[in-house]
Structure 1
């Protein structure tokens, strides 16, 4: 496969030319009904491919601990790891908005979060992702007040795997669902510009999406979100050594190149055919 950063890629619907994504464009996308296609990415070569495929957002996720480093969870990932991979992706990414994941306990205090977020933005990220609400609301406000855009991550938060006792769907009972809706409103009020909803029943994710003025990105949260994200290796059907979640679809299985699989994923997100009922929770 030969892919270059200058290769043509599908333009955003209604756009004359394809412009680099910016943080303010995320709210406009929600208002316009443009479904956002997001993938994880960890290196320069795949960054070229996701740009060529027309992916809107790229996440340098702490999932790299599991799919790149061979760990059993995301907990061992460090600030240095995320900074390194963010810099690798940023060197060749030209159009997608680059989001860097805040690793375990790097956001334990506002000061620690500021140090980590500063390193990520200096490496080329445009936004940082923070898991949870509660005490994280102070951290979100602190970063936003210092001109650092924040993406919140609610529902199944992998950094809480020990407390949860595994990777389990969240928000299935009435009390838990009400709490998630309130947390989503709280992170938006704190200044988050985007919310990732993971492992959440479809109906609840749709309600949260309707509640908010900011866009939601689902992963195992059904089709009612404003966009979707998958781990790159899952989307390509690669064996990471871990159980494949229900919400994963192998877009390379139908043949073609890696870039065409990414493009098929983006098109399926935008036309609403992915995720289907078989990828969702009730």
Structure 2
């Protein structure tokens, strides 16, 4: 009976997210593994398998070193753990900038091998044309404008965008081009509030903010940041838990119990079975 109920749940898809434009805010978080995805699934409309996995899970200094194989592996795990939320997989650096045909080949591979409902591309100047090519061939695409983590080596650091007129015009133009190309939604990251508000007003697709104010149609955060797993978090993150302290305290208690031989106790120990009397 429970398996029948599980099968009846319809997973959200691109049209559902696009249809939320100007409506109830869209709730999004990142996910990289099956247990976390299962916990987030009931609360989120969209789970992003972000290339932030390279930094928060694999310890890389930025997202540039993330590979297609890493994204597929984590995408598969998130799909196994979730059943209702739409799952979007980030396309890593170098997997879509080398031409429309290569981008299609890599995106199609991600869709086939993970079962995810869409991919996400950071929308640089040349990317809208690629997005249009992908959408025309049946691949739902989420865009990403403003602060683009994959461009960190070019820009030298993670810097908020849209704080002067030149940047404002550039970010708005990229957002409009991305929406016109057919993206079903656009992440707006690290962008000044007036610019994020203007983008949300002028495009007909939902904006998902991360460090882009409450003016957006939805919000996303990196889940380990939101749960307080690290010492430092960006200005735009609100910590809803203090997992770093909780985990440290739990491990310290475990270590103390092991050293004092309090763990495992009798209740946690297997014993030989008593022989059956004839």
Does TM, normalized by the shorter one, top 0.5? yes
Tell me the residue number matched to 2:45. Answer: 56
CA–CA separation in structure 2 for the residues paired with 1:19 and 1:177 = 39
- State the Cα distance separating 1:92 from its structure 2 match: 2.4
What is the match of residue 201 of structure 1?
Answer: 192
SS of residue in 1 equivalent to 2:81: coil
Work out the CA distance in 1 between the residues paired with 2:19 and 2:145. Answer: 22
Q: 1:86 aligns with which of 50, 72, 75?
A: 75
Count, aligned residues: 240
Return structure 1 stretches of 4+ with deviation > 2 angstroms. 4-8, 17-20
- Note if contact 2:229-2:242 (Cα within 8 Å) is conserved in structure 1: no
Q: Deviations over 1:216-253 (max 9, x none)?
A: 000000010000010010010001x7x42100111124
Correspondences of 1:112-127 after superposition (within 5 Å) = 112-122=102-112, 123-127=114-118
Q: What's 1:34 paired with?
A: 24
1:180 partnered with 2:182 = no
1:151/1:192 contact within 8 Å kept: yes
Q: Which sections of structure 1, spanning at least 5 residues, go unmatched?
A: 9-16, 258-282
**What secondary structure, in the 3-state scheme, does the structure 2 residue paired with 1:131 have?**
coil
Residue 249 of structure 1 is matched in structure 2 by 238
How far off is 1:98 after superposition? Answer: 0.4
Q: Greater relative contact order: 1 or 2 (C-alpha under 8 angstroms, separation 6 or more)?
A: 1
The residue that corresponds to 1:46 in the other structure is 36
Alignment correspondent of 2:269: none
Q: Please, what TM-score do these two structures have when normalized by structure 1? A: 0.80
Q: Match for 1:25 among 11, 16, 23? A: 16
Alignment partners' CA distance in 1, 2:130 and 2:227: 34
The alignment partner of 2:70 has SS state of: helix
Is the partner of 1:172 in helix, strand or coil? coil
For the pair 1:166 / 2:157, whether they are aligned, the reply is yes
Q: Cα offset for 1:27?
A: 2.2
Task: Tell me, in whole angstroms, the C-alpha distance in 2 between the residues paired with 1:159 and 1:7.
Answer: 41
- Partners in 1 of 2:18 and 2:143 — Cα distance? 15
Determine which structure has more spread, i.e. the larger CA radius of gyration: 2
1-structure distance, mates of 2:204, 2:154: 31
Aligned counterparts of 1:5 and 1:155: Cα–Cα separation in 2:
43
Residue matched to 1:77: 66
| TM-score normalised over the length of structure 2 | 0.82
Deviation at 1:20, TM superposition (A): 2.5
Deviation per CA, 1:111-142: give whole Å up to 9, x if none.
Answer: 22112211221111111110123211121011
RMSD over aligned CA atoms reads 2.3
Distance 2:174 2:32 in 1: 29
Unaligned runs of 5+ in 2: 247-278
- CA distance, structure 2, for counterparts of residue 26 and residue 132 of structure 1: 19
Residue aligning to 2:273: none
